[in-house]
Amino acid sequence: MKCPYCSYEESKVIDSRPTDEGERIRRRRECIGCAKRFTTYESIETLPIIVVKKDKSRENFDRNKLLAGMLRACAQRPVPLETLEKAVSEIEAKLQNSLDREITSTVIGEYAMEQLRQIDEVAYVRFASVYRQFADINTFMDVISKLMNDR
């Protein structure tokens, strides 16, 4: 690891500890050349997930975009941010564990609806109404009736 102060290429690790619920390792290092200390972070390299949208365009998966959509669905609902962040992490893990590197936006939307259904039924209906582009009140009623029957 190159020292940020003197660019010497050798350092020794003084302290290591996990951060972000075990997702990364924080390492405190000391430069062999100048004896100054600096911190590095080590994380698992993940392969990018490509989202294939309905118009066939492709873009990298963005967990913040998914979280923002779920936050909009949960607006003015008693849903803690931590709950939604955990749900997004579960969806992201499911996508990373998939053998496919390209995933349709439809699949991601279904995963989000599964999570929201467990978290808050009102948020689930809100998300579904935008995601499935409800055309009329009958479509709303069908989803609500299905929710009621599943209880």
Give the model's pLDDT for residue 96.
87
Give the mean pLDDT of the chain: 89
pLDDT at 20: 67
Q: Per residue in 77-131, pLDDT tens? A: 999 999 999 999 999 989 988 888 899 999 999 999 999 999 998 998 888 888 7
Inform me whether the pLDDT recorded for 47 exceeds 90. no
Instruction: Report the C-alpha gap between 124 and 116 in whole angstroms.
Output: 5
For residue 144, pLDDT over 90 is answered with no
For helices 63-73 and 105-119, what crossing angle results, to 10°? Answer: 40
Whether residue 31 is predicted with pLDDT greater than 70 in this model: the reply is yes
Per-residue pLDDT band at 24 (split at 50, 70, 90): confident
Does residue 23 surpass a pLDDT of 80? no
- Parse the chain into domains and list their residue ranges: 11-43, 50-150
What is the predicted pLDDT for the residue at 150? 79
CA distance 85 to 100: 23
